[in-house]
Every structure is written in C-alpha cells, then in structure tokens.
Copies of this chain bind each other. A is one copy, B any other.
Amino acid sequence: MVESVSAYNKLEDLLRDLVDECRQYTKLGHVATYIPILSKADPNKIGICIHTIDNKEIAVGDVDDEFSIQSISKTISLIITYTLIKDMNIIKNTFGVEASANKFNSLIQLETLSDIPTNPMINSGAIACAGLLVDKISFDEFIDFARKLCDSDKIRLSEETYMSEKTTGFRNYAIAYLLKSKNIIKTDVEKTLDFYFKMCSLLVTARSLSRYGSVLANGGTAPWSKTSLIDYKTARRTKTLMQTCGMYDASGYFALDVGMPTKSGVGGGLLSIADNKCGIGVFSPSLDEKGNSVAGCRMLEILSRTLKLHNFDKDYSIIDRLL
C-alpha cells in the first residue's frame, strides 16, 4: 500500500507499487474514439516517470511507449506564443485566461460570453494560438523545440494520427472557421488547422513528458544542460494555466484534490509538475468521461497525497528522502 510511505526507501519501489495498485483503474475508462486512430490504443498500458530538477529520473511501467501528445501540445504552443509574440495586446485579443466549466471542444462561450476563446488550454484557444504561430514558425521548428523540451530526438510526427485528425476533426474545423469569422484567426484557416492537427499528432512518451515537466518545474531551465529553454515568467504563466485550466472541465476538482499543475491529452498522457522539484510524465490511455486518463489521475492523486506535493500542502522532505 503506497500510502504507507514510511515503509519505502526508494522512490522506484513506491512507483512500482503505485502502478500495480492503479492498474485496476484502467478498467474503469475507455480509450478515446473521437478520431479513429486513438481507438486502437491498448487500454492496459500504464507508466509513470519522474524527472527531478537535479536531473534524476525514476521510471516504472510503459514509460517508453509512444502515444500522441494531443492536448498536452497546447502547453508548447502557449510557450511559443508567449515567447514570439511580444505585444501583449495581440495575445489578449486572441485568448483569455479564465477557466471554463464547459467541455474542451465547446463553442458556446465563444458565442455567449466573449468573442475570444476562454483560455489557451481548450481547443478554441489552442487553435487561436496556432493561428498566431503558423506564419511565424515552421512545423519543423515546433518539433525541434518539443525535442529540446523533452530532451529526446525521438519526438516526431505521427502521419497516421495527423491524417486521422485532418479527415475527421470536423468540430475543430467548425471552431477554426468561427474564429476566422470573428477575425481572431487572421491567416489561412486550413494552414492554421494543419499546424494544430500536426501539433496534436506528435509522438511522445511518459519519459519525455517527465523531462519537459522538469524544465517547467525548474523555472524554464533544462536540468540536463543548465540552459534556459523557457523564459522564467513564461514558465510561471504556463504552470498557472495548467493549474487552473489544464484538466478540461475537471480542472477545479483536480486543483482541489491533487493540486499540481497538470495538463492531460486524450492520447492518455499527463504532464504534471511539482514546482521546484520535478516533472512527472504519465501514460495510460483509458480515459474517464471528461477525457482524462483514469489510472493516470488516480496515480497523481495518490502521489500528491503520499509525497505531499499539493500546492497548498507541500513537504518535499518526503520525496527527498526517497530520491
């Protein structure tokens, strides 16, 4: 039982028990079906990797299985937006920063509340970001940046996922054209969507996400190279938006009970952060009805409680003892 944390001497042992204990929760969800290729995922997969700001890495389970990054890519497009767009007014006219209690692919608030997407962590906001970026960087540059963040040359585009998104993602087309009609997307819609679909189709692993998380936890500086990949303030903003809006319409519940900035993707990945301590990458593609990994969320919840990683309940001496 993981919760008896004092019984452990090594984090790896604890993580192994955690994975074993939470494997049962994969039965409670379903792999995503909204694009055909996602439905081919193996619902039994489960893995977790922790990468500390001291560059230690503890990995258990299916941490090297590739899966599509999906919505977790919204954090990368956000970082690039904050990095490349210096005029804050352009950003303020493109997306808001308020959490939304609506579904991730909702169009309602675009129609009723404001003319801009509520935040950059839902589809409309990320598509609006893509509209800002598509004329500024090539998608190869996007991949390059993702590889640096994840310290992995293996990050690459899944052509199959990309084609699946492109040929069936009709609601995203609807969102993009609505943004175009409101002049929030100022460039070509098809090019914007292409960029967005490609972003979502990057293949990552739990291990690579944990490294990316450690960069954010470390204020933007890569633990392995000591070079700054993300501006400190941009890292802070990204963590905050993950905290308030990262888990779709379960963000509030997650902030309450887990309390770590986390972003999920319907590919089954979770990118989580214990600030100033470590990044956590999780993979388990069986999803709950909100679109979040069932076993993955459960693992983070138990970990937060056991290791005291909650934002308002931090005590890093516990994890330090196990590292």
**A contact residues, range:** 35 or more
Which B residues are CB-close (under 8 A) to A313? Answer: 232, 236
Given the complex of chains A and B, what is the CA–CA distance between A173 and B179 in angstroms? 11
Given contacts A106-B111, A170-B181, contact A245 B240 (CB under 8 A): no
A107 within 8 A of B: yes
Q: Which of B100, B237, B312 contacts A240 (CB 8 A)?
A: B312
Closest residue of chain B to A173 (Cβ to Cβ) is B177
* Residue A29 CB within 8 A of the other chain: no
Q: Which of A279-323 contact B (CB under 8 A)?
A: 310-313
Stretch at the interface among A4-12, A54-62, A138-146, A250-258: A250-258
A181 → chain B, closest Cβ, in Å? 4
Asked if A156 is at the interface of the complex by the 8 Å CB criterion, the answer is no
Contact B244 A255 (CB under 8 A): yes
| Residue from B178, B249, B256 in contact with A237 in the complex, judged by beta carbons closer than 8 Å | B256
Cβ < 8 Å to B, chain A residues 228-248: 232, 235-237, 239-241, 243-245
Bound-complex Cα distance A233 to B230 (A): 34
Docked CA distance A102–B178 (Å): 17
- Cβ contacts A216-235/B at 8 Å (1 or 0 each): 00000000000000001001
Q: Assess the A174–B170 pair: CB atoms within 8 A.
A: no
Chain B neighbourhood of A108, CB < 8 A: 108, 111-112
**A153 lies within 8 A of chain B by Cβ:** no
Residue of B nearest to A243 (CB): B255
- For A275, the closest partner residue in chain B by CB is B312
6 sampled A-B residue pairs with Cβ under 8 A: A99-B100, A102-B113, A171-B177, A174-B174, A243-B255, A244-B252
